Structure 1
């Protein structure tokens, strides 16, 4: 049983990465889609109760935000994988500019999220932690950032 937590600013490619790597295997839990923390908690709890693999596709830039998911998942016997989307501000701004309607985040909001970013580490309770970069061809490059000894 795997719980995956994405960490990254808006426009960093998290949702695209989900579609490319987890769409067929993990349920996507996104506050953007569910709209309320209550609904989000219900989905997380349903996944935990049924042993369903899931991805939390939110910014999760604060340790305190990640801690809730990590604690619930680990207590239920899930392996917790963190994917840290290395901030590439110019690319995130460009990708965000391609969005329309409410999906587009004001520049001030995107930069505010970046400013609050607390880089993740294994001590938070992750079993595995990866860094995701985007190369010049807009391909995702995933590297193990840290793994337990």
Structure 2
């Protein structure tokens, strides 16, 4: 079955590294970070998602996707292609994300205020949005590794826990 995997989390939470270590060989990558010169990145993203799905290719949407609305725009595409929708919520501390972000260079680094803005908008995912499966991801103590746990719906993660 074709999958749309949606990453959810702050900048610097490990999303892109997680893609490279877990999905790069099996899933295409769609990221607004790769569309910096596009005046309508959301429209371009929807087009690319549909093109991958038409081709029968599973994909990862590697953006912050902090709000239900951001995610809904992606989720609404899936039924036309019978795609399974899987979410990965990157549980992280803002201090850790700020540190990792400051280690980035060039356009990969975002201003500190961008992380605070994302944190203030961040709404943890919920199965009611249309996800078939949800997971919680944390960066593990060993560099480049992650802890992955099935999502527990009752968990209330959000800006206050970040």
Query: Structure 1 length normalisation: TM-score?
Result: 0.93
| Unaligned 5+ runs, structure 2 | 154-162
Q: Secondary structure at the match of 1:131?
A: strand
| Residue 27 (structure 2) aligns with | 26
Match of 1:99 among 104, 123, 144: 104
Contact (CA 8 Å) 1:87, 1:114: kept in 2 or not?
A: no
Q: Secondary structure at the match of 2:77?
A: helix
The aligned runs of 1:137-148 (5 Å cut-off) are 137-138=142-143, 139-146=145-152
Residue 146 of structure 1 and its aligned partner are, at CA, apart by 4.5
Large movers: runs of 4+ above 2 Å: 34-39, 135-139
Cα separation, 1, equivalents of 2:151 and 2:42: 29
The aligned runs of 1:4-43 (5 Å cut-off) are 4-35=5-36, 36-43=41-48
Match of 1:45 among 42, 50, 67: 50
Q: Secondary structure at the match of 1:69?
A: helix
Cα separation, 2, equivalents of 1:51 and 1:34: 23
Query: Structure 2 length normalisation: TM-score?
Result: 0.86
Contact (CA 8 Å) 2:46, 2:74: kept in 1 or not?
A: no
Cα separation, 2, equivalents of 1:89 and 1:81: 24
| Unaligned 5+ runs, structure 1 | none
Cα separation, 1, equivalents of 2:85 and 2:93: 25
- CA deviation vs aligned residue, 1:97-119 (integer Å, no higher than 9, x gap): 11112211111111110011011
Q: Secondary structure at the match of 1:32?
A: helix
Match of 1:113 among 111, 118, 133: 118
Q: Secondary structure at the match of 1:66?
A: helix
